[in-house]
Amino acid sequence: MAAKLKVFWKHLRSNLAYLISAFIIALVLWSYILVEINPERSKSYGGVDVAVSGLASLEKNGLMLSAAVNQDVTVHMNVRRNDLRFVTGDSIRVTADLSQIQSPGTHSIPLIGQCNNGTIVNISPESIEVVVEDLVTRTVPINFAADDAVPDDRYVLRRELSTPSITITGPAKVLEIASGRVHVNYASDIGSFSQTLPVELMDAAGMPITFDHTLRLSSSEVTANLTVLPVEALRVNIDAAYEGTPARGYQMMEMGVADAAGNPAATLRVAGPPEALAMLREGGITTAPVDITGATRDVNRAFEPLLPEGCLLVDEADIVAHITPVIVSKEFTDIEVVGTLGQSQTTKLGVFVKITATGPQLLIESINRNELLAYVDISNFVSGEYDLKVDAVWLSTDTAVRVEVMLAVEPYHVTVTLP
């Protein structure tokens, strides 16, 4: 075995120069093949997006894609070895040309590939299907969102849109769009200012519609021009808010302010510039006087505040002048007490009392002493001396006004001797 190894190493040493020369020649030949001949290699690139062309021609024919083309494909290529580093998915362009479509419906479109650094062998899949619809144009109004909350300390004096409507072009789904809507941030500022707002598309039921590239809007944003004023609850000052005199027998009892629900209101909300509101904090809100001339009942009218320029009343309210009858008393002396015996029979008892009538002035003035009756009930008594309570009644035929008058008897107990 050792002898054979010696022979092998001897032979190798004698041919080493030849072996090195052969390796160098092979290396040179291989480099020549790679550099000069530059052989092709097969390569596949997946995830290549499909681009769409011919949209202008499609629209010219009154057509449009019903949905965006969102598809990727795999491209099989032959690429020379030296160019492999230059070829990526981004350098390959695959296009679907829609310019030959003349009618709505589903169409199969062959894919066309292009790459400057290789040869495209095939594309998988070779075609895509697209759905084409008639092109529709519609103009819809733009509205402010109704559910945008206005803070309690803000009042929107003015809100206008730079354009009241937008025009939408797209496939048949355009017909589902009933309006556009914008959302405003009313708390962002006070005074006059503008906000640029995105338009949200809405269907007839008031639900948002998703916007995609198949829909083209004449404007996707509009400008809202706003005037927003601060609001404060301010004291109502109505101490001298009436003029004139009520009818004879009536008086102005008090002035009051009632809110929209009819509840008493000591304060009302006012919107206006900050400096004007500061002035009103000191003196409160005053109003034009209420004319109560000749009034016989409450006088009620809308509260009309006297406010600085630029201010306005936010709350609805009424001012009320409460008119009441003048209450007076009148004494009627030497009214003889009668005894009642039942069935409207009476007898004079020779005892006299004073009756004081209290009530509305006009009623009291209308009472005649002959209409007053002081009486005791003696229907169940026998002969003797009794201490009896005296009652009084106004013998007016109008029972409605009779209840408005109160009668007091003095003395209210008398001694009566019955024979």
**SS3 state at 401:** helix
Is 80 a residue whose pLDDT tops 90?
no
The CA distance from 259 to 268, in Å, is 8
Query: What sign for the dihedral angle of Cα 9, 12, 17, 21?
Result: negative
| Residues 110-124 pLDDT 10s | 999 888 778 888 999
pLDDT in tens, 49-72: 899 999 889 888 989 888 888 889
User: Is the pLDDT confidence value at 380 over 60?
Assistant: yes
Mean pLDDT to the nearest integer, 228-247: 91
Residue 231 scores a pLDDT above 80: yes
Find the mean pLDDT for residues 375-398.
87
Choice among 84-98, 136-150, 275-289, 371-385 with the minimum mean pLDDT: 84-98
Range 335-359 average pLDDT: 88
* Residues forming a β-bridge with 78: 42, 119
CATH class of 236-324: mainly beta
Q: What is the pLDDT of residue 251?
A: 96
pLDDT at 5 > cutoff 70: no
Ranges 142-146, 168-172, 225-229: which has the least confidence = 168-172
What is the token pair recorded at 300? Answer: 């009620």
Q: Are 164 and 206 in contact (CB under 8 A)?
A: no
What is the model's pLDDT at position 391? 93
What is the per-residue pLDDT across 242-291, written as a single tens digit (0 to 9) for each? 999 999 999 999 999 999 899 999 999 999 999 999 999 988 999 989 99
- Position 1 scores a pLDDT of 58
Q: Look at residue 28 in the predicted model and tell me its pLDDT.
A: 53
Neighbours of 297 (CB within 10 A): 13
pLDDT tens profile 300-334: 999 999 999 999 999 999 999 999 999 999 999 99
Confidence grade of residue 26 (pLDDT, cut at 50, 70, 90) = low
Q: Return contacts of 151-156, CB within 8 angstroms, 24+ apart.
A: 151/186, 151/187, 152/231, 153/230, 153/231, 153/232, 154/186, 154/187, 154/190, 154/228, 154/229, 154/230, 154/231, 155/228, 155/229, 155/230, 155/231, 155/271, 155/312, 155/314, 156/186, 156/226, 156/227, 156/228
Average pLDDT, the chain: 87
Q: What is the pLDDT of residue 10?
A: 59
**Cβ-based neighbours of 10, under 8 Å, separated by 6 or more:** none
- Residue 11 confidence class, pLDDT cut points 50, 70, 90: low
Question: What is the domain class of 327-418 according to CATH?
Answer: mainly beta
pLDDT surpasses 70 at 4: no
- Residue 213 pLDDT exceeds 80: no
- pLDDT for position 318: 94
The class level of CATH for 136-231 reads: mainly beta
Looking only at the bridges linking them, the beta strands covering 105-114 and 93-97 are: antiparallel
Q: What is the pTM of this model?
A: 0.62
| Token pair in block for residue 214 | 């198949």
Q: Residues 395-404: what's their mean pLDDT?
A: 80
Question: What does CATH list as the number for 40-131?
Answer: 2.170.120.30
pLDDT digits (tens, 9 = 90+) for 27-44: 555 555 555 555 778 888
Res 9: pLDDT: 54
Q: What is the pLDDT of residue 53?
A: 92
Q: Give residue 14's pLDDT.
A: 59
Between 203 and 40, whose confidence is greater?
A: 203
d(CA 380, CA 375): 14
pLDDT value for 88: 75
